[in-house]
């Protein structure tokens, strides 16, 4: 198993470091002992965090933040390369036996024990967030990926900063503040949440505000309604002079992007989206083959395999009835419908959900790796 993963970074011993040649030979011997599995497949049985090709983490603590948000402290496996404050990690958990991935910002400040924390807000109808907040247990192993994302402060810190957040959009900003608040001179944090008790990290933020580390402007949308441009002008009159980082609901980000663009300041606004606006899966759509750079139009009633072949795309195929799995391709983004059950499978960007093209019809635009 996992032979596809066998040429991982572990084997990059080139002989430049002393002992590397010897280690490489020893590893080869070890691999020959466990073939067709890898030595790590046996290590997994006893210590899943020691494996060297797959990053995982163990849940070491769970702290409730609000009624529907919790901070999860994770001890990453030994291949964890660390993060820059503001970045996110993708976490994979099994919900009803199915591996699901979601991105969460790292919210912890520097920790001596090498652990990191993420803060998760349960979303109504959100399978993963709800599962994490309600069912995750200390000691459990989760899958994870290396930190990613450009929502970070530049190396040379700007003198005036505006942080604009809504709801769980506070999480990457909290990560930034916990690391860098001592080094920042003039920070305004404008945060929206439905009610005072819904503010994640409320105590910590209010304390930072009370100690004049930051200027905290807390808004409660149940009372004040959604933030608009007029209110923004009134609350932060000098917004044009500030390097701005914004994270929150898609509607809020669109509003801000429009506003900054209009003022010709788009380059000073940095935004972060966790959940891209997924198109409502529809009847058919454009299928894009990423490696061959081909685009075909597919209706919602016929298999992608048939339409692709008719268009001259060389596609893997097999039984053409959904039983042999010879036609599977990774779907990076988009939605397909299983023609046998009507069930829709969606992938968010970065996913690689494997779909059977012989029984799947496009349900909106989708990107397939071929």
Partner 1 sequence: MTALQKKEHNPVAHMTPEDIESLGKELDAVRAEIIESRGAKDAAYIRRTIDVQRKLELGSRAVLLFSKYKPAFALGTAGLTVSKILENMEIGHNVMHGQWDWMRDPKIHSTTWEWDNASPADLWKHSHNELHHTYTNVLGRDNDLGYGIMRVDEDQPWVPFYLGQPVWNFINACFFEYGIAAYDLELGKYMKGRKDKAVFKRDLGKVGQKVRNQMTRDYVIHPLLAAPTGSWGRTLLANYLSNLGRNLWTHSVIMCGHFPEGVETFTKTSIEGESRGEWYLRQMIGSANISGSKAMHIATGNLSYQIEHHLFPDLPSNRYAEISVKVRDICERYGLQYTSGPLPKQVASAWMKVIRLSLPNHIAAKVKFPSRRKPVAPTALPSRRVDTGEVAA
Least distance in angstroms from the C-beta of 336 to partner 1: 14
Least distance in angstroms from the C-beta of 237 to partner 1: 50
Q: Cis link prior to 279 (omega < 30° from 0)?
A: no
Least distance in angstroms from the C-beta of 238 to partner 1: 48
Cα distance between residue 5 and residue 27, in whole Å:
15
Q: How wide is the angle at C-alpha 349 spanned by C-alphas 305 and 323, nearest 5°?
A: 30
Please say which residue, 62 or 328, places its beta carbon nearer to partner 1.
328
Please say which residue, 287 or 327, places its beta carbon nearer to partner 1.
327
**Phi and psi at residue 246, to the nearest 5°:** -130, 140
Please say which residue, 157 or 354, places its beta carbon nearer to partner 1.
354
Please say which residue, 229 or 317, places its beta carbon nearer to partner 1.
317
DSSP string of 121-162, one letter each residue: E--TT-HHHHHHHHH--TT-EEEE---B-S-S--SS--SEEE
Least distance in angstroms from the C-beta of 354 to partner 1: 6
Please say which residue, 218 or 338, places its beta carbon nearer to partner 1.
338
Please say which residue, 100 or 180, places its beta carbon nearer to partner 1.
100
Least distance in angstroms from the C-beta of 175 to partner 1: 28
**Cβ partners under 8 Å of residue 108, min gap 6:** 73, 115, 116, 117, 175, 178
Least distance in angstroms from the C-beta of 168 to partner 1: 25
Cα distance between residue 26 and residue 34, in whole Å:
13
Exposure string over 270-287, b if 16+ CB within 10 A, otherwise e: bbbebeeeeeebeebbeb
Measure Cα distances from 274 to 154, 160, 246, 336, 343 in Å. 21, 25, 12, 22, 25
Cα distance between residue 332 and residue 185, in whole Å:
42
Least distance in angstroms from the C-beta of 34 to partner 1: 8
Rg of the chain's alpha carbons, rounded to an integer?
24
Please say which residue, 35 or 159, places its beta carbon nearer to partner 1.
35
Phi-psi sector, 46: left (phi>0), alpha (psi -120 to 50), beta = alpha
Both structure tokens of 318: 């097999």
Least distance in angstroms from the C-beta of 340 to partner 1: 8
Least distance in angstroms from the C-beta of 142 to partner 1: 13
Least distance in angstroms from the C-beta of 348 to partner 1: 13
Collapsing DSSP to helix, strand or coil, 318 comes out as coil
Residues that bind partner 1 (CB under 8 A): 1-5, 29, 32-37, 41-42, 45, 54, 94, 96-100, 318-319, 321-326, 328, 340-341, 353-354
Please say which residue, 22 or 42, places its beta carbon nearer to partner 1.
42
Please say which residue, 100 or 232, places its beta carbon nearer to partner 1.
100
Cβ–Cβ < 8 Å for 100, 130: no
**Cβ partners under 8 Å of residue 300, min gap 6:** 282, 283, 284, 285, 337, 361, 362, 363
Collapsing DSSP to helix, strand or coil, 167 comes out as helix
Task: Report the Cα–Cα distance between both ends of the chain, in Å, rounded.
Answer: 23
Please say which residue, 282 or 318, places its beta carbon nearer to partner 1.
318
């Amino acid at each position: 198993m996992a032979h596809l993963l066998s040429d991982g970074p572990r084997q990059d011993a080139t002989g430049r470091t002393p002992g590397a040649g010897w280690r490489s030979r020893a590893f080869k011997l070890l691999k020959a002992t466990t073939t067709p599995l890898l030595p790590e497949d046996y290590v997994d049985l006893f210590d899943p965090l020691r494996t060297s090709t797959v990053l995982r983490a163990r849940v070491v603590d769970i702290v409730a933040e609000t009624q529907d948000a919790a901070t999860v402290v994770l001890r990453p496996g030994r291949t964890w390369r660390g993060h820059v404050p503001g970045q996110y990690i993708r976490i994979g958990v099994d919900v009803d036996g199915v591996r699901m991935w979601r991105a969460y910002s790292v919210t912890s400040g520097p920790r001596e024990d090498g652990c990191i924390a993420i803060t998760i807000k349960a979303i109504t109808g959100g399978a993963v967030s709800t599962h994490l907040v309600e069912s995750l247990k200390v000691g459990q192993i989760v899958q994870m990926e290396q930190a990613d994302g450009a929502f970070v402060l530049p190396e040379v810190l700007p003198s005036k900063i505006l942080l604009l957040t809504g709801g769980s959009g506070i999480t990457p900003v909290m990560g930034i503040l916990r690391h860098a608040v001592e080094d920042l001179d003039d920070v305004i944090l404008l945060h929206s949440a439905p009610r005072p008790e819904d503010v994640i990290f409320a105590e910590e933020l209010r304390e930072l505000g009370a100690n004049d580390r930051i200027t905290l402007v807390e808004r409660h949308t149940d009372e004040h309604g959604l933030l608009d441009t007029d209110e923004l002008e009134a609350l932060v009159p000098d917004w044009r002079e500030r390097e701005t980082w914004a994270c929150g609901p898609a509607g809020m980000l669109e509003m801000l992007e429009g506003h900054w663009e209009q003022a010709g300041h788009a380059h000073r606004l940095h935004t972060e989206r966790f959940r891209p606006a997924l198109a409502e899966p529809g009847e058919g759509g454009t299928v894009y083959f990423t490696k061959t750079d081909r685009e075909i139009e597919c209706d919602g009633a016929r298999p992608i395999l048939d339409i692709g072949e008719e268009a001259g795309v060389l596609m893997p195929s097999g039984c053409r009835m959904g039983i042999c799995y010879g036609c599977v391709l990774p779907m990076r983004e988009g939605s397909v419908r299983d023609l046998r059950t009507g069930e829709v499978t969606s992938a968010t960007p970065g996913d690689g959900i494997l779909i059977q093209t012989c029984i799947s019809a496009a349900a909106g635009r989708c990107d397939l790796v071929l």
